[in-house]
């Protein structure tokens, strides 16, 4: 039944076979996508017509490879910018939130904690439309009352950043809080006894201790932002992020350029996830 108990041959074999099938199921779509990025054909399908890098480096007129495809390149840059700002913002606010919930006592703490968890159970689509509505209301309000016109309140780059930030902060808070709970408070007390200020202690001691968790959370935030679709869909303006841009292309028919983009995404995110895993292991 388990490692320490005797098992029959059939039991072992069928279980191993099942796991093998399961991992094939997991990886088949990814492997196929990657392989077909190198097929010398105008469609992302078999038969195999030979190895080619056209879908990465060709620059027209028949085929335009990824590195000459302005639209895709621009969306990759947009996604990087979005993810950059989202991870910085959510790490700052998420760390504040974990200090607030782990170290401070105040009225309505339970209620606020519940609110902090709420983005976990709000579907991304709903978050997107709510923010779109709120931004619209705020925009109308500012225009009517002050006669001011803010770009922020229209679907735009910064609205996407705010939308993703609003739920990614929750994940950062949970990761950092988990680490903060392991913190040995006598270290803080010692520093305070030796004359450090409260904020000095937080800066020099507590944040040092939290650094692995904060770096890990930032990486997770970056990845989550980079691949977010549901919330972004409603907030995006004239600068689509990579997932939105890919979606529009997939919906309207496909060329192997999409495979090339996917390959880069798969390799990039895997490397980042592995690096993150390696460093958090090391940090513990």
Cα three-residue angle 281-175-276, rounded to 5 degrees: 35
CB of 2 to another protein, least distance (A): 4
> In degrees to the nearest 10, what's the CA dihedral of 234, 236, 240, 246?
-10
**Packed helices 109-121 and 70-103: angle between N→C axes, nearest 10 degrees:** 150
> What are phi and psi for residue 174, nearest 5 degrees?
-65, -40
The residue with tokens 């006894």 is 193
Tell me how far, at minimum, the Cβ of 264 lies from another protein, in Å. Answer: 10
Which is nearer to another protein, 3 or 60 (by Cβ)? 3
130 touches another protein by CB under 8 A = yes
What is the Cα–Cα distance from 238 to 216, expressed in whole angstroms?
31
Residues in contact with another protein, shown as a per-residue x/- string from 135 to 174 under the rule CB under 8 A: --x------------------------x--xx--x----x
Find out whether 68 and 59 touch, Cβ atoms under 8 Å: yes
Q: Which residues in the 66-125 window bind another protein by CB under 8 A?
A: 92-93, 96-97, 99-100, 104, 106, 112-125
* Nearest residue (CB) to another protein, 47 versus 50: 47
Q: Considering the rule CB under 8 A, would residue 15 count as an interface residue with another protein?
A: yes
Residue 272 in the binding site for another protein (CB under 8 A): yes
The window from 61-69, 70-78, 207-215, 254-262 that contacts another protein (CB under 8 A) reads 254-262
């Amino acid at each position: 039944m388990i490692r320490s108990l005797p098992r029959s041959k059939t039991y072992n074999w069928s279980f191993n076979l099942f796991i093998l099938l399961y991992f094939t199921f997991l990886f088949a779509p990814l492997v196929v996508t990657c392989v077909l990025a190198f097929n010398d054909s105008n469609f992302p399908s078999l038969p195999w017509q030979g190895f080619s890098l056209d879908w990465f480096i060709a620059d027209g007129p028949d085929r335009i490879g990824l590195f000459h495809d302005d639209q895709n390149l621009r969306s990759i840059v947009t996604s990087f910018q979005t993810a950059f700002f989202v991870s910085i913002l959510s790490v700052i606010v998420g760390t504040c939130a974990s200090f607030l919930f782990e170290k401070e006592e105040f009225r309505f703490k339970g209620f606020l904690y519940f609110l902090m968890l709420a983005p976990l159970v709000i579907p991304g689509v709903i978050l997107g439309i709510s923010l779109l509505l709120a931004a619209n209301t705020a925009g109308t309000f500012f225009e009517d009352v002050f006669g001011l016109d803010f770009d922020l309140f229209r679907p735009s780059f910064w609205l996407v950043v705010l939308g993703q930030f609003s739920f990614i902060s929750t994940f950062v808070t949970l990761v950092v809080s988990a680490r903060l709970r392991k913190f040995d408070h006598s270290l803080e007390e010692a520093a305070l006894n030796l004359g450090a200020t409260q904020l000095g202690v937080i800066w020099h001691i507590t944040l040092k201790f939290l650094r692995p968790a904060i770096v890990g959370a930032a990486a997770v935030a970056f990845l989550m932002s980079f691949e977010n679709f549901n919330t972004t869909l409603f907030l995006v303006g004239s600068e689509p992020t990579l997932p939105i841009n890919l979606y529009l292309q997939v919906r309207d028919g496909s060329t192997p350029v999409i495979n090339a983009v996917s390959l880069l995404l798969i390799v990039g995110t895997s490397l980042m996830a592995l690096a993150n895993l390696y460093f958090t292991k090391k940090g513990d």
